[in-house]
Structure 1
Amino acid sequence: MNPGVIGAGVMGLGIVRSLLRGGFVTHVRDVDPAREALAHARGARIAGAPAELGAHADVIFIVVLDAAQIDDVLEGPGGLMPVLGPGKTVLVNSTIAPGDTERFAARVCSTGAAFVDAPISGGPARAEAGTMSMMLAAPDAVLAAVDPMLRAVSDKRFVIGTRAGDAARAKLVNNLMAGIHLIAGAEAMALAMRLGLDPRQMSELIRVSSGQSWMFDDRMPRALAGDFEPRAQAHVLTNDLTLANAAAADAGVELPLGAVARDLLRATCDAGWRNEDDAAALKYYARRFGVHMPG
């Protein structure tokens, strides 16, 4: 079987590289020619449209930003739907609402193709290394058929169940934690600066103490170094927390911390940093606390 990847952004390109490293002939489609050029330079075959990719690929990874873009991939000009059918499998790796995942699963499966709810986590470096986390929801036989490709792109795979939408739910729970940890880390570091402490020393201290978290380890050292090159843009995590709060509301509960984290990330975006790395939350807090970022 040959894979195809639609969306060669920071995570999608990592998936492409992992598939190529695993020996798979990999087809790629992205709306940005520059991203396609990066994939082609690694050895991928470029398709002119989703339908063209789907004609050559048996297993199709969709790694785009949101549900609107998936709609366009499926049924926009040159969309996938006409070329789907028995023998094809579509994996949606985007972080989207569970209801949207269920809707896409129904549409894909109506053609006779298989569908895998397969959101991913871990950042670009882990995507490229094939060590990212993947949450999976699909029938066992479908997962078994694509297992070699899943192993090529992820060494931490969690089968949540067989029902499309459950992996999407699991991803929102994870990203709720990620957003809260990011905001907590930014708040703590800004307080340290306000108290006159050395932020770099505090970062080292926290990373080996009880305040440690993966998000702190990944984001705060980069923020303190002034590196806001987007690995995950601030508006993306803001949207993820919006989806998590909506999922909670649908379940009849509120997320006190989740709502605050969403609002603070939204404020970071509104301050002009929406397209920077979400570590820019520290810049928002520094401005709010009246302290200067390290030079």
Structure 2
Amino acid sequence: MRDVGLIGLGAMGLGMAQSLRRAGHRVHVYDVRDEAARKFAAEGGVACTSPADVASRCEVVVGVVVNAAQTEQVLFGEKGAASSMKGGNLFVMCSTVDPNWSVALEQRLEGLGLLYLDAPISGGAAKAAAGQITMMTAGKPAAYAMAGELLEGMAAKVYRLGDRAGNGSKVKIINQLLAGVHIAAAAEAMALGLREGVAADALYDVITHSAGNSWMFENRMPHVLKNDYTPLSAVDIFVKDLGLVLDTARATKFPLPLASTAHQMFMQASSAGHGREDDAAVIKIFPGIQLPD
């Protein structure tokens, strides 16, 4: 049994904490929602009062928050984790961020004598709860040595992509390019079918058994069929993530026409008031269609 800290009990973080606990570790958690940490503690974890409190108890702290700004707050904000981490302790960063920011964070933590693992994640809430996510990691050998078996406790696939930070985040934003484009394409296809009078459930059944299927079509379009846009991954997540994709490509003047179009679709959905809805709500930008009740 190891003491491991996890900060951020959202859809992915909660499942990862549960997987670590199931693997036999003592899991110390913090979330800005006190009730989330208390509920996890009631099921066998340890609730902490701040990121610093987590870090004071654990050699390894896993950050599972939304973006770079929140990661910055977790580490260096009031009662941040970095203030309590001892030399040689490890911070595992699981957010989707600008790769250059991740490289800079590694250097910043090295200056404090701390280890860092660039380790974005993919797979969704169900896979997180089952310990079946994918981790795209990059970091020094010492960081992997400190992480030990903890990564495998959270993930079915742990890819080692380099001995310095950066490549983990680069691969993650490429994944997000595909995910965002696939969701936008799935919404466009379903919208056309509805506009042409095809029954939504019939269209879904045919496509998921045909060559045009994608994982995102199969996973997201049931949200449309059920008229349930409870956010598992929100529209605004793809406004952010596809923005990171485009920023990365723009730096080297690399054209991304499909990613650019998908980004505009999510921007349009967000500006229409759907930013906090499930990302399948991008279908709502299409005029003249009757969505399922």
Fold match, TM over 0.5? Answer: yes
Could you tell me how far apart the structure 2 residues matched to 1:175 and 1:57 are? 31
Partner of 1:294: 292
Partner of 1:229: 230
The one-letter code matched in structure 2 to 1:293 is L
Q: What SS is found at the alignment partner of 2:232?
A: coil
Could you tell me how far apart the structure 1 residues matched to 2:262 and 2:22 are? 38
When normalised by structure 1's length, the TM-score is 0.96
Could you tell me how far apart the structure 2 residues matched to 1:78 and 1:259 are? 39
Q: Is the 8 A contact 1:134 1:156 kept in 2?
A: yes
TM-aligned CA deviation for residue 249 of structure 1: 0.7
Partner of 1:186: 187
Partner of 2:123: 122
Q: Is the 8 A contact 1:192 1:199 kept in 2?
A: yes
CA change 1:141–1:71 in 2 (3 A) is closer
Percent sequence identity over aligned pairs: 36
- The answer for unaligned runs of 5 or more in structure 2 is none
Alignment of 1:64-83 (within 5 A): 64-83=65-84
Could you tell me how far apart the structure 1 residues matched to 2:171 and 2:75 are? 24
Could you tell me how far apart the structure 2 residues matched to 1:147 and 1:199 are? 47
Alignment of 1:138-157 (within 5 A): 138-157=139-158
Alignment of 1:278-293 (within 5 A): 278-285=279-286, 288=287, 290-293=288-291
Which moves more between the two structures, 114-123 or 157-166?
Answer: 157-166
Could you tell me how far apart the structure 1 residues matched to 2:43 and 2:204 are? 36
Instruction: Kindly tell me the number of residue pairs found equivalent between the two proteins.
Output: 292
The one-letter code matched in structure 2 to 1:74 is L
CA change 1:71–1:145 in 2 (3 A) is closer
TM-aligned CA deviation for residue 205 of structure 1: 1.1
Q: Is the 8 A contact 2:7 2:31 kept in 1?
A: yes
Could you tell me how far apart the structure 2 residues matched to 1:68 and 1:217 are? 32
Alignment of 1:104-119 (within 5 A): 104-119=105-120
Are residue 93 (structure 1) and residue 94 (structure 2) matched? yes
- The answer for unaligned runs of 5 or more in structure 1 is none
Task: Encode CA deviations 1:25-52: one digit per residue, 9 max, x unaligned.
Answer: 0001111113223322322211111111
Could you tell me how far apart the structure 2 residues matched to 1:37 and 1:205 are? 45
Partner of 2:221: 220
Partner of 1:268: 269
TM-aligned CA deviation for residue 138 of structure 1: 1.1
Could you tell me how far apart the structure 1 residues matched to 2:91 and 2:145 are? 14
Q: What SS is found at the alignment partner of 1:35?
A: helix
Could you tell me how far apart the structure 2 residues matched to 1:42 and 1:231 are? 22
Could you tell me how far apart the structure 1 residues matched to 2:116 and 2:79 are? 20
Q: Is the 8 A contact 1:220 1:279 kept in 2?
A: yes
Could you tell me how far apart the structure 2 residues matched to 1:56 and 1:279 are? 40
Q: What SS is found at the alignment partner of 1:157?
A: strand
Q: What SS is found at the alignment partner of 2:148?
A: helix
TM-aligned CA deviation for residue 85 of structure 1: 3.1
The one-letter code matched in structure 1 to 2:153 is A
Could you tell me how far apart the structure 2 residues matched to 1:41 and 1:85 are? 28
Could you tell me how far apart the structure 2 residues matched to 1:39 and 1:176 are? 33
The one-letter code matched in structure 2 to 1:291 is I
Q: Is the 8 A contact 2:115 2:142 kept in 1?
A: no
The one-letter code matched in structure 2 to 1:263 is Q
Task: Encode CA deviations 1:53-88: one digit per residue, 9 max, x unaligned.
Answer: 101011110111111111111111101222223331
Q: What SS is found at the alignment partner of 1:212?
A: coil
Q: Is the 8 A contact 2:224 2:292 kept in 1?
A: no
Q: Is the 8 A contact 2:62 2:94 kept in 1?
A: yes
The one-letter code matched in structure 1 to 2:16 is I
When normalised by structure 2's length, the TM-score is 0.96
Q: Is the 8 A contact 1:17 1:42 kept in 2?
A: no
Q: What SS is found at the alignment partner of 2:277?
A: coil
Partner of 1:196: 197
Q: Is the 8 A contact 2:52 2:83 kept in 1?
A: yes
Q: Is the 8 A contact 1:182 1:215 kept in 2?
A: yes
Q: Is the 8 A contact 1:29 1:46 kept in 2?
A: yes
The one-letter code matched in structure 2 to 1:273 is H
TM-aligned CA deviation for residue 150 of structure 1: 0.7
Could you tell me how far apart the structure 2 residues matched to 1:228 and 1:215 are? 15
